[in-house]
Amino acid sequence: AQKITQTQPGMFVQEKEAVTLDCTYDTSDQSYGLFWYKQPSSGEMIFLIYQGSYDEQNATEGRYSLNFQKARKSANLVISASQLGDSAMYFCAMRGGTSGTYKYIFGTGTRLKVLA
C-alpha cells in the first residue's frame, strides 16, 4: 500500500534561516511522483514543487528545493531564507498507480511557524 509519512506536526524557524520539512514514502510502483503543497491559513492549497521518481537531479523552485533520496524513500522539502509569509501548513504527497487510474496520497502535514 502507498503511504506518506510526515513526522513533524509542527516546527518553528527564525526568519531568514533555512528549514527542512521531512517526508518519507512507501510504494511498490516504479514510476511515481512526489509533491509538496502549501496551505496558508486562508485554506487554499498551493503547489510548490514536484519530483519524478526517475529524475536524477533534485527539483528546485526558487527558495524551495526537494531533497530526494530514493534509496531511503525520502523527499524532504528545504525552504531557504524563510519569510514570515512561509508560515503555513505543508503537505507532502505522492502520485502513483497505473496509467489511467493515478491517485494521490497525502501526508498529515507539518505546520511551520516563521518567527520574526
Rule CB under 8 A: say whether 44 interacts with other proteins: yes
Please choose, out of 19-27, 54-62, 67-75, 95-103, the segment that lies near other proteins by the rule CB under 8 A.
Answer: 95-103
Task: Measure the CA–CA gap between 34 and 11, rounded to whole angstroms.
Answer: 21
- Which of 10, 40, 45, 69 binds other proteins (CB under 8 A)? It is 45
SS3 category, 86 = helix
Please choose, out of 11-19, 66-74, 80-88, 98-106, the segment that lies near other proteins by the rule CB under 8 A.
Answer: 98-106
Candidates 73, 80, 114; CA nearest to 94 is 73
Task: Measure the CA–CA gap between 47 and 65, rounded to whole angstroms.
Answer: 13
Rule CB under 8 A: say whether 3 interacts with other proteins: no
- Residue 19 backbone dihedrals phi, psi, to 5 degrees: -145, 145
Rule CB under 8 A: say whether 12 interacts with other proteins: no
Size of interface with other proteins, in residues (CB under 8 A): 24
Please choose, out of 10-18, 19-27, 53-61, 100-108, the segment that lies near other proteins by the rule CB under 8 A.
Answer: 100-108
Rule CB under 8 A: say whether 38 interacts with other proteins: no
Task: Measure the CA–CA gap between 64 and 78, rounded to whole angstroms.
Answer: 6
